[in-house]
């Protein structure tokens, strides 16, 4: 099911969380909230939208990380219902796309629910105070040709790092619905 994310709720405070990666290492959101901000992106392995942007996401994330903005990815899908989203596959998926950021498992889906995540991919860009400033898409290429793309997330997070505020115009991300446990 194809969904759009809601508009940015400017100033919404990021709830803290601790989740583990596929190797069982814990990561706490507040430990990654730096002066220049933090991106939290909800993704999964099987989504064709995530697969289409995987390399661009890794590249843009590395640019952000190099500039002092941290990135965390969260997998909130019910991997019992969608086994290809399980931990062993997450590790391979992250390696395949060269993710330079932790890819975390939201086992009980509490983080996805707390953030009101809608689809994969779903991007949340926070300033250094943990206030939401971006709820848009990675870029304008989507699943198409990325040769002349506008890197909207990258541009927004650079602005947030400089000013603490996100752009007033944001285009929602589209993707597959998060698979919630029944």
| pLDDT tens by residue, 114-143 | 999 999 999 999 999 999 999 999 999 988
Give per-residue pLDDT as tens, 55-92: 999 999 999 999 999 999 999 999 999 999 999 999 99
For residue 7, what pLDDT is reported?
A: 84
Q: Once rounded to an integer, what is the mean pLDDT over residues 3-11?
A: 82
Model's pTM, two decimal places? 0.96
For residue 71, what pLDDT is reported?
A: 98
Give the pairing of strands 70-75 and 132-134: unpaired
Question: Starting from the edge strand earliest in sequence, which strands make up the sheet with 38-42, in order?
Answer: 26-28, 18-21, 103-105, 70-75, 38-42, 122-126, 132-134
Report d(CA 174, CA 1) in Å as an integer: 10
Give per-residue pLDDT as tens, 8-56: 999 999 899 999 999 999 999 999 999 999 999 999 999 999 999 999 9
For residue 127, what pLDDT is reported?
A: 98
Give per-residue pLDDT as tens, 87-106: 999 999 999 999 999 999 99
Q: Where are the domains of the chain?
A: 2-177
List the CATH code of the domain at 2-177. 3.40.30.10
């Amino acid at each position: 099911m194809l969904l759009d994310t809601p508009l940015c709720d400017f100033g919404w405070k990021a709830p803290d969380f601790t989740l583990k990666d596929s190797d069982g290492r814990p990561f706490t959101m507040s430990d990654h909230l730096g002066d220049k901000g933090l991106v939290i992106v909800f993704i999964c392995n099987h989504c064709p939208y995530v697969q289409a942007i995987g390399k661009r996401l890794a590249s843009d994330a590395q640019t952000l990380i190099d500039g002092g903005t941290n990135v965390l990815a969260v997998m909130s899908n019910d991997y019992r219902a969608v086994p290809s989203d399980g931990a062993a596959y997450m590790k391979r998926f992250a390696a395949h796309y060269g993710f330079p950021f932790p890819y975390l498992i939201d086992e009980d889906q509490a983080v996805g629910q707390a953030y009101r995540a809608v689809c994969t991919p779903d991007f949340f860009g926070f300033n250094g105070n943990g206030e939401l400033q971006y709820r848009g898409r990675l870029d304008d290429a989507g699943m198409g040709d990325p040769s002349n793309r506008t890197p909207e997330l990258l541009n927004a997070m650079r602005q947030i790092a400089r000013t603490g505020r996100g752009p007033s115009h944001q285009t929602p991300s589209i993707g597959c619905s998060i698979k919630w446990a029944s």
